[in-house]
Structure 1
Amino acid sequence: MQECDFCAIGAGEAPAIVVWEDEENLAFFPRRPAVVGHTLIIPKQHYDDLFELPDPAVASLTQAVARVGRGLRRALSPDGMNLINSTGKAATQSVFHVHMHLVPRWTGDRFGDIWPPSEPWAGEVKAEVADMVRQELNPSRP
């Protein structure tokens, strides 16, 4: 594995403003936050992306995200909050160590909309894609 900045932060070998940690996960402010309170939550063990995480690590990371999110909500009283994960270059993942962004939001903040306007899918396309996904989620598959 190449050198990973987030692994170094998780190991305490690189500087970061840490707001919370436990044995498995760490929450810290990114170098260039989108808004006040923008926080990253990472597993301390390296996984490139969300789909590499084994189920126990998914559960642990999700619990960490919920805990940190509740703390951000109590501390900052935002109007809302985005939970964002980018997996893969096409989804704008820039650090290939799985991480979740908690982004406190206020009405009219500079962050703006996260969803572009979309066109509705044709009914037959929806049905075909739904069938493909259902096949992959069949209980007989891992």
Structure 2
Amino acid sequence: MDCPFCQSDQLVMENDLAKAFFDKHPVNEGHLLVVPKRHTVTYFECTIEEKIAIDQLIQRGKVHLEETYQPDGFNIGTNAGSAAGQTIFHCHIHLIPRFTGDIDDPRGGVRGVIPEKRVY
């Protein structure tokens, strides 16, 4: 299989069912991707056990990013399907550290997937 996430070995952390590594095109320094080890296309195809493993790494990743980068906040998100912006078709959850001032007005956060709906 020619999947960059299946082949990724630049791991920051892992457990039995999931792994985490830095995004090659980060939104901010420390931007982590958390993926199931089993190839699944979206989050919705993951088993409950895989979702628990992913969440454990999100929590561990948060601690790691706090210790390493001291962010002021976080965004967590996933893109499921091409209409939602997914470009690599292996489930991945973004854990993005956020810093005061990284954008002028962060209100609306993940609502920014549709820019005119972000600030309300």
Q: What TM-score bracket applies, with the shorter chain setting the length?
A: 0.7 to 0.9
Quote how far apart the aligned CAs of 1:23 are.
2.3
1:100-135 CA deviation, whole Å, 9 max, x = no partner? 1111001110495542444xxxxxxxxxxxxxxxxx
TM-score, length of structure 2 as denominator length: 0.82
The match for 1:124 is none
TM-score, normalisation: structure 1? 0.71
| Residues 1:89 and 2:88 aligned together | no
Matched, 1:6 2:21: no
How far apart are 1:80 and its partner, in Å? Answer: 0.3
Query: Structure 1, residues 60-105: CA drift from partner, whole Å, max 9, x if none?
Result: 1111111111211122111101011111111111111111111100
Who wins on radius of gyration, i.e. which is larger?
A: 1
Structure 1 CA distance for aligned equivalents of residues 3 and 92 of structure 2 = 12
Q: Which position in structure 2 is the counterpart of 1:53? A: 46
Counterparts in 2 of 1:11-50, with a 5 A limit? 12=9, 16=10, 18-50=11-43
Which 4+ residue blocks in structure 1 deviate beyond 6 angstroms? none
Count of residue pairs brought into register by the alignment: 111
For 1:71, the equivalent position in structure 2 comes to 64
Pairwise CA RMSD: 1.8
Query: Runs of 5+ in structure 1 lacking a partner?
Result: 119-142
Unaligned runs of 5+ in 2: none
State the match for 1:105 in structure 2: 98
CA contact 2:36–2:54 (8 Å) conserved in 1 = yes
- Separation in 1 of the partners of 2:59 and 2:28? 19
